[in-house]
Amino acid sequence: MTQTARQDRKQAILDAADQLFGSNGFHGVSVRDVSQAAQVNKALVFYYFDGKEALFEAVLERYYHAHRDVLSSAFSSKGTLTDRLHLGIDAYLDFIEENQ
């Protein structure tokens, strides 16, 4: 299997877990639920993430990195402090709305 195919499978697992944890919470999701939603074998979830807790941490880490990147780019833009603050608040609210 190619590296790209491995990354695609891992990404499919993360995407499915993100959606399921977001809708059902940590305790409302099983590894089987994630594997079915990602259309992969349950063992593959354990191969890539070593269990539900590690998968949840990976979902949170991905969320926080995306959040940091959005805010970082907004606050590092040029302009007055007020302009940057407005951009940062707008970016934060947009991010929260898109990533409920």
Residue 65 belongs to what H/E stretch? helix 52-75
CA atoms within 13 A on the CB side of 80: 3
Q: Is the pLDDT of residue 39 over 90?
A: yes
| Total number of residues shown for the chain | 100
The pTM of the full predicted model, rounded to 2 decimals, is 0.76
12, 15, 17, 23 alpha-carbon torsion, rounded to 10°: -140
More confident call, 88 vs 59:
59
Q: With contact defined as beta carbons under 8 Å apart, do 74 and 90 qualify? A: yes
Mean pLDDT, all residues of the chain: 90
